[in-house]
Amino acid sequence: MPNECTDLYHRLQLRRNPDGTFTRKHDVFPRTPPSSDPSLPIPVLTKDITINQQNNTWLRLFLPRVALSSSNPNPKKLPLILFFHGSGFVILSAATTLFHDFCVEMANTAEAIVASVDYRLAPEHRLPAAYDDAVEALRWIGKSEDEWLRHYADYSMCYVMGSSAGATIAYHAEERVELKEDEEKMGDIKRKIDISKLNIRGLSLALPIGADRDHEYCNVRAGNGVEKMRKIREVGWRVLMSGTGGDILEDREKELAQLMEEEGVQVVKDFHGIELIDIKEDNR
């Protein structure tokens, strides 16, 4: 196992320090800074906002220029999409160019405000840290006084989604808030969820120490998984599950979709080509 972990650390550009902490190479993947200057010829404005300073969690807001184009003092409000990035709970961030560009395209095409959450990463912060951060982000969104959200976001049209591990985070956050907590705590936000992939890649570094793939964070039927699906059906979730047809985790993705269907959850399935991210092999 130590050799396996060492190889994973090398591939993911992580260096384990003697005190158990980790040093990350932040230049492995390109990052894009936010830009909120409306004078620039860009279709979507962006800015970063701190959620929890102690945990160093934040989100990047994407505001399509169409929201600023009207002279009406009461402009039409836009849908709000809460997005959780991949990959594997271990690498990348909301500032990674890959996800930044995706959110820009989504905000511009859908004419929606996008809030991309930057959560704590494993192995420094193993699950459920990312799930806790996601729940905190949902609460923050619900009570935020941010100008963009207050003036332009329509909380009656709020969607929760994620890519790869981010979809798993979206599911667990939504499940915790919707099924376990008082609905009034979230104000008038009415949520739907988009599960793009239930991705287990890298979970050896993200799962609680000693857990395996039969843990409830990994196996959709473990624990009270079936009961959760029944509750999801009762509260009326509408789920779009988009999986990658060539993914080695395809069986797990289809198992989740099958469980949802068995328990009467409204689910639309879309399995397509695989999403690839190149990880540098060198350790420069």
Nearest to 209 by CA among 116, 147, 129: 129
Q: Are 49 and 163 in contact (CB under 8 A)?
A: no
Which DSSP helix (H) or strand (E) runs through 267? strand 266-272
- 272 is annotated as an active-site residue: yes
With a CB cutoff of 8 Å and minimum separation 6, the contacts of 46 are: 34, 35, 36, 60, 61, 62, 63, 100, 104
Preceding omega of 128 cis (within 30 degrees of 0): yes
CA distance 191 to 81: 10
Q: Are 62 and 44 in contact (CB under 8 A)?
A: yes
List the one residue out of 189, 142, 204, 195 whose CA is nearest residue 170.
Answer: 195
**Per annotation, catalytic residue among 36, 214, 270, 272:** 272
- Name which of 103, 86, 111, 110 is nearest 48 in CA terms: 103
Q: Which residues pair with 84 in a beta bridge?
A: 117, 162
List 116, 164, 204, 242, catalytic entry: 164
Which has the closest alpha carbon to 120: 89, 95, 96, 97?
89
**Considering 118, 133, 194, 247, which one is annotated as catalytic?**
247
**Count of residues making up the chain:** 284
The type of residue at 151 is H
Cis peptide bond prior to 123, omega within 30° of 0: yes
User: How far is 256 from 239, CA to CA, in rounded Å?
Assistant: 11
Say which residue the tokens 């996800």 belong to.
Answer: 99
| Position 146, amino acid | D
- The residues annotated with a catalytic role in the active site are 164, 247, 272
